Amino acid sequence: MLLCFMVSYLLTLPTQASAFDSAPIELDNSAFWTGFAGGIVAHELGHVALASAYGQRAQLHAGSIVYPNSHFSQKELLRVSTAGYQTQWLLSEWSFASLNSENENALLEKQHHIGIITSHLAITFAYAAGLKDYTTSDVYAASEVSGRSSHQLMAMALLPALIDTYRLFGEGVPEWVGKVSMAVKASEIALIWSF
């Protein structure tokens, strides 16, 4: 039921071709960095919240969230290990929709949303650059459970990030690009939850 709601919500959001299509705006560092940090925290809280929903307790160990003495099923482990990505995908779509809003006096809010989207991109590209191979990483755990290589899973995570990079920084980006990004994210979330 929750999956149906999330996928339906993603597909009904308006899209924006580019955050920078309108007149140039000055970057407010505090709003941007608050959004960026918030995106990273939300990614991690996605793991913790879903693990808690499954009755498991998360702990921080050497910079990674771990679940000592946990007893996840294979299905639960895949969902928990990818919960950060699922959270950042939902937040990035909410942020793109907010960038589309007609609220003219929301410059700080727009910078905040640009920070959230940028954190989604930074997290994904950091995993692609090498974090995927750490034994405590999201991608490594999902690879172990799904039987797919970390390279295959990373390609799946990179696709929406590459599209979203174009959406955020491209000029004159067609509206259909946002719809494609949402469809990719929704189909990947559906795949995770149907495992």
| CA dist., res. 51 & res. 49, Å (int) | 6
Contact 111, 78 (CB under 8 A): no
* pLDDT computed for residue 43 by the predictor: 96
* pLDDT computed for residue 65 by the predictor: 83
pTM of the entire structure? 0.83
- The owner of tokens 């993603």 is 10
* pLDDT computed for residue 106 by the predictor: 73
| CA dist., res. 98 & res. 25, Å (int) | 16
Which sequence spans correspond to the domains of the chain?
27-194
* pLDDT computed for residue 166 by the predictor: 98
* pLDDT computed for residue 105 by the predictor: 54
* pLDDT computed for residue 33 by the predictor: 96
Question: Which residues contact residue 82 at a Cβ distance below 8 angstroms, ignoring those fewer than 6 apart?
Answer: 138, 142, 192
* pLDDT computed for residue 26 by the predictor: 55
* pLDDT computed for residue 11 by the predictor: 41
User: pLDDT tens digits, the chain, 195 residues: what are they?
Assistant: 333 334 434 444 444 445 554 444 555 589 999 999 999 999 999 999 999 999 999 888 877 888 888 899 999 999 999 999 999 999 999 999 998 877 765 788 899 999 999 999 999 999 999 999 898 899 999 999 999 999 999 999 999 999 999 999 999 999 999 999 999 999 999 999 998
Contact 169, 128 (CB under 8 A): no
27 closest CA partner among 92, 118, 90: 118
* pLDDT computed for residue 79 by the predictor: 96
Which helix (H) or strand (E) segment holds residue 26: the answer is none
Question: Which residues contact residue 4 at a Cβ distance below 8 angstroms, ignoring those fewer than 6 apart?
Answer: none
* pLDDT computed for residue 60 by the predictor: 85
